[in-house]
Structure formats: C-alpha cells, structure tokens
Structure 1
Amino acid sequence: MLNKITRLLAAPLLTISTMAMAETDVAFTLDWKFEGPAAPYFLAIDNGHFAAEDLNVSITAGQGSLDAIPKVATGAYPIGFADINSLVKFLDQNPEAPVKAVMMIYDKPPFAVVGRKSQGISSVSDLEGSVLGAPPPDGAWAQFPVFALENDLDMDKITVEPVGFPTREPMLAEGKVDSVTGFSFSSYLNLVRLGVPEDDLTTLLMADHGVALYGNAIIVNTDYAESNPEIITGFLSAVAMGVKDAAADPEAGAQAVIDRNPAGDVALETRRLNLALRDNILTDYVSENGLGNVDSARFAKALEQIAITYDFNSSPSMEAIFTDAYLPDSSVLMVK
C-alpha cells in the first residue's frame, strides 16, 4: 500500500519533470551587439517568459542586418532581428527566400542625423552649407536621400565626408565635421562619452521629418514558422512581455544585457535602452494599437520611399514582406 501511495505522489513530479524537459530549443540572432535595446529578449529569458511558452531560447550577437537576414533565410537561425528596409531589398533580390517579418519592434527607425549646435546645426535646414560625416555602409546614410527629398534639402549644398564607423563620432567631437548620420541612441551617447556637452547636441530623427520607413523587426524562416506556428506565437508573446518588463524597469533590463556583456556599462546601457524605448519602440502608434503590427498605408508609403534610392526588380507588396499571422492576442501586445 505504501509503495502505491509513493507512486501516486511521484506521478505529478514526473509530469512536471517531463514538461520541463519538453522545452523547445530556439536559436535567435540579433543584428548587432549586446546593448541596451536588446534588453527585452534577455529579460524574456531571465523573467521566465520564454520558459512559460516552453521555449529554451539562446541569443547570438550579430554584425548588422545584412548578416542576420541570410542567417534566417538559410535556416541557420529560425528567428532573427533585422532592419525591415534591408529585408525589403533582400526579398526583391531573392524573391523565393523563405524569410519574412512577423513583429515590428522599432515602429520608428533610429535613423538620425546628430549634429552640434556650436557648429551651426540646430535644425534640418542648417545641414545646407555644413559638413556631414557618413560611413558609406551606414543604414542611416542609406536613407539620407529620402530625408533630404522630404525636407527640400539641396544635396549640392551639403559636403559629405566619408568616415569609418570607429571615427564617426570622434570626428564630430573634434569638430572635423558638423554632423553625422547614425542610430539616434548610439551616436548620441557615443558623443556624450567623448565629452560633448549634451546641450550642444541636436538629434534629428528622420522619422520625425517625413521619413515613413519602419525600423527593425522580428523575422522568421517561413518554412520553420509554417511548421511551428505555436513556437513563433509563443516567442512573440514572450518578447512582448520582455518589452513591458524593460519599460517598467530599464535598469534591470540594462543589467540583463551586462550580465552577458561584462565589458559594458549598466548606466550607459540604461540610457541607451531608455532612448530606444522613448523614440523607437513605445511610440504613439504603439500606445494606441499595441506592439508588433504595422499600418498598411504607412507601409505602402515606406515602399515608395525606398524606391527613391533603390530600383526594384518587381513591384513590392507588404504581404510578401510582413505578416501579422503569428502575433499573439492583442491583450498581450498592449503596453499600459
């Protein structure tokens, strides 16, 4: 009798153990290094949101969207994080590639021009007659012609100085250029670290000046997603919870990043995360509609703006690039 009772008592424990062992391993690639804006994904691990979806997620740093997109398209990673504008061009050149965006994270892209007031840059019009430092491969520089067109800037009146990524902010700090293109939350803080007074900095976020483009999104290998829809939806649910956690306690989010990147600085990454949350993630649209989705009219305009600087092989459609089919229930996506 005692043995029977023991077996009955052990049964729930065996069930729990079996459930724990049933977690699905998911590899997720970022587009860049472990910095503040990546906090939601690490918080989703640390706070058990992925585990609640029976997922065991590993996160790998990236080397840019042009690195992350092929990794997902080839199936090396089932899920990734990348600039949707780069994805648009990738799919135009590789229309059969099994990759698509499923959750918008940067409702406003961080593409920006950061200048110094002491060097005459206080508004968009001040860029005419100035020297702009721009790394040729820079994502923000790639959108500058759209930004210039939307703001009636005469490109012939702007001296563009090609610079390297490592020298971009130092050249502005040294006064060798008047402004630089870059990501708002990175270039700004890099300049502050170099000793440029914050009240001397002007950040011109392109999304606030006529550029309709979206930013980075969660992307998936569509073959994997079609075979595992519940895994994708579970992953996106956990990410939404991670975003909410990061918004509620940015310092804890930054600490989750630094736990994986000890060379970083918690205070710096807290500020970087706060900037990304304020300017790129928790926008007015997201406050009203929740995380993850896109506005079809804006998306159509964004495709038109991409065509200003890129010759499409075929007419692009939103359906080939983005789907909301895997997004969780709207109650999960709303951020209060």
Structure 2
Amino acid sequence: MTLSPAGRATGPLLVLAALALMAHAWVLAPAVAQTPVPIRVLLDWRFDGSAAPFLVAEDKGYFRAEGLDVTIEPGGGSRETVAKLAAGAYQLGVGDVNTLIRYRDENPGTDLTAVLMMQDAPPFAIIGRKSRGVTADPNSLVGKVLGASSADGAAAQWPVFKALTRIEPRGARIEIVGQAVREPMLASGELDGVFGSAVSTLVTLKSRGVPADDLIVLAMSDYGLELYGDALIANNGFAAQHPAAVQGFIRALVRGMQDAATDPEAAVQAVLRRNEQARREVELDRLRLGLARNVFTPWVKEQGWGGIDPARFARAIDQIALAFTFKSKPKPQDIFTEVFLPPPADRQID
C-alpha cells in the first residue's frame, strides 16, 4: 500500500481497509446463522509455550464464537511459513516480520501483509557462556566461536548488530551448524556462544543442564536494534474476501493472549495436550519469559497489543538495509496494516 499526498491509502491495502470497515458494520448487525469460515493457520514452529494463546483460543471456543472453523498447524520456521502463505496453502500464519520484508523484496508481487504485531521486541540474541569469556560487552565476542544455523533470524542481524555496537573489525568466528545441534554444541563446550532466541534458546539450554548462572544473553534490542519480531501474517486474497473473518480471528486471539497472560499454568496445559514431548516446566518458562521479554513491553502496556509505531518501523527497515540490499525499499504501510485490529482499549493485557 502507498499513501497519496493527502495521506489517503492507495493500492491493495485500500481494498482491505474498505472491506474491514464493511466487516465492522457486519459484526454490529444482528447475528444470523452463518456457515463457519474455514481458516488454516501455520505457526512458525512446533507446539510450545509461545503457541499457547492460539491453543487457548481454540480450546475455549473463541474462534468458533466468531464464526470460524480454525485449524492450527505447527511450522518449520518463518521462511517456510511465509512461502506457504504466499502459495495460498494457508490463510493466516505466524512469522518473523523481517523475514516477510525480505521475502517480499526477493519475490515481487507477494500478496501478504502483517495484520497484528505479536512481538513488540524481537527475540534475536547471542547467548554465550560466561565460563567461555562472554560478557554483556559485545567486544567480549571478538575471537569467540559462535554457532549459527543457516536459516536463523538472529544470525541474519549480525552485520546490523556489529554496526550498532561497533565491535572490533575482526569480530567473532561464525560456524554454520544445524539448528538441532546448536544448543547441544554450546552445552558441550564446542562453541562459545550461539545465535538464537533470547527466550527459546535460553530455555532450551537450561533444560539441557547448562547452569543458568553461566549463561549470558545479549538481546540485540538492548543494543539499539529496532526491529520487531513475530507477526500474524495474512494472505491478502483471503483477507479481501473475508475481512470479518480476519477481524474475528484477531479478536479471538487477543482473548487467548489475555487468558494466557492471566493464567500461564493453565495455558501451558493446552500445549501439553498437543505435544507429548513437551515438559510442563520448560514450556511454562518459555511462555512466561516470552511474554515478559518480547510481548509486554512498555509501549504495548501503554498502547495495547498488536500495533506498531510507524516511525520505529521505518527505522527498522533502515536497519535491515544495513545487511540486505533492497530491490525496492518498502514503507511501513507496505508491510503492516492495523485495519483489522480491535480498538486499543480492547487489546490491553492486564
């Protein structure tokens, strides 16, 4: 979407905005029997603590109450989620918004838009071991061996992190490793640190027996990274055809998030029912830490969950450009729309 000189929306998202207004009028009309709208949702990873708000909303019937027939499926990473959404295999999905930005630039014509910002602070981090000489000072990484998987979102921000922190030119030695062996290699001492999530990677390392007091988390957002994290992404074709369904889905998800924040222990039970390998204490830690670090930032507590600060989003795109050469640099409104969000007062999380 672009803006005219008068500030009015133009382009594909103008259609979405108009349809969203129509949908708003529809939900205020007297309820009539409706055939549930089927929606396939692809998460960016397996059923774990971070997926709890979706699963709570499903278990409590919040989606059904909105006239939706929702199927939630685990995913294999943000890149896969975005690609499958673009192909039309799913109508909604969870993915890193920065991955969406890059994918759209690499694949012109990609008809996807982020409709709810799930993580106001990105999870991107370097997690190191104090016993290997890693400290909160980014220059402690100089000369260290850091493990990174080829598809890792945090590793993609390494050039930006180096620019922001002015790490000595020789920096660290990056070793590409499989995502499945990244944490075990740090736990065994084969690596000094790893790129990963300030939440999930940390929780996984602790669950593998690495002493918590030997771990140091360099969350990139603490060092000037202004990027956002995961977003709910919509296939624009579906959103244009079913704007009320997208609005209803978001309303239901907000209720699921509110419940998960109020009672994390009950929320984790929804995860355990779907993932036999999940451990209650690990997923409870993942959920609580994720809410505290990535979701309920001071901005969200003031403005409500799910929106963005356009000026910050523009700065985030500028930071992405430090590590990625755009064919056509987007504007925030090309990537994200708030037209499907409930009013801010309805998105407050106590």
- TM-score, length basis structure 2: 0.88
2:89 to 67, 76, 101: 76
Correspondences of 1:55-134 after superposition (within 5 Å): 55-123=68-136, 124-134=138-148
User: How far is the alpha carbon of 1:316 from its aligned partner?
Assistant: 1.2
User: How far is the alpha carbon of 1:186 from its aligned partner?
Assistant: 1.7
| Equivalent residue letter for 1:90 | Y
2:314 to 296, 300, 315: 300
Q: Which one has the bigger helix percentage?
A: 1
Contact 1:241 1:332 in 2 (8 A): no
User: How far is the alpha carbon of 1:184 from its aligned partner?
Assistant: 1.6
Q: Separation in 2 of the partners of 1:42 and 1:155?
A: 45
User: How far is the alpha carbon of 1:65 from its aligned partner?
Assistant: 1.1
Secondary structure of 2:143's aligned partner: coil
User: How far is the alpha carbon of 1:121 from its aligned partner?
Assistant: 1.2
| Equivalent residue letter for 2:80 | D
Q: Separation in 2 of the partners of 1:53 and 1:155?
A: 54
Contact 2:146 2:175 in 1 (8 A): yes
Match of 1:167 in 2: 181
> 1:210-240, CA deviations, whole angstroms, 9 ceiling, x for partnerless residues?
1111111001011111121111011011111
> 1:112-153, CA deviations, whole angstroms, 9 ceiling, x for partnerless residues?
111111111121231123221222221110111111110011
Contact 2:79 2:99 in 1 (8 A): yes
Match of 2:239 in 1: 225
1:146 to 160, 169, 176: 160
The share of aligned pairs that are identical, in percent, is 43
Match of 2:343 in 1: 329
1:291 corresponds to 2:321: no
Correspondences of 1:47-58 after superposition (within 5 Å): 47-58=60-71
1:277 corresponds to 2:291: yes
Aligned length: 319
User: How far is the alpha carbon of 1:19 from its aligned partner?
Assistant: 6.5
Gap regions ≥5 residues in structure 2: 1-30
Contact 1:147 1:206 in 2 (8 A): yes
User: How far is the alpha carbon of 1:155 from its aligned partner?
Assistant: 4.5
Q: Separation in 1 of the partners of 2:309 and 2:343?
A: 17
| Equivalent residue letter for 1:188 | L
Contact 2:139 2:168 in 1 (8 A): no
> 1:79-120, CA deviations, whole angstroms, 9 ceiling, x for partnerless residues?
111111111011112232211101000111111111111111
Higher mean C-alpha displacement, 31-40 vs 68-77: 68-77
1:197 to 204, 211, 218: 211
User: How far is the alpha carbon of 1:161 from its aligned partner?
Assistant: 2.1
Correspondences of 1:226-265 after superposition (within 5 Å): 226-265=240-279
User: How far is the alpha carbon of 1:21 from its aligned partner?
Assistant: 6.9
Secondary structure of 2:286's aligned partner: helix
Secondary structure of 2:311's aligned partner: helix
Higher mean C-alpha displacement, 177-186 vs 213-222: 177-186
Higher mean C-alpha displacement, 132-141 vs 21-30: 21-30
Contact 1:102 1:219 in 2 (8 A): yes
User: How far is the alpha carbon of 1:162 from its aligned partner?
Assistant: 2.1
Match of 2:27 in 1: none
Secondary structure of 1:157's aligned partner: coil
Q: Separation in 1 of the partners of 2:132 and 2:205?
A: 14
User: How far is the alpha carbon of 1:23 from its aligned partner?
Assistant: 2.4
Contact 1:27 1:58 in 2 (8 A): yes
Q: Separation in 2 of the partners of 1:273 and 1:20?
A: 37
| Equivalent residue letter for 1:232 | V
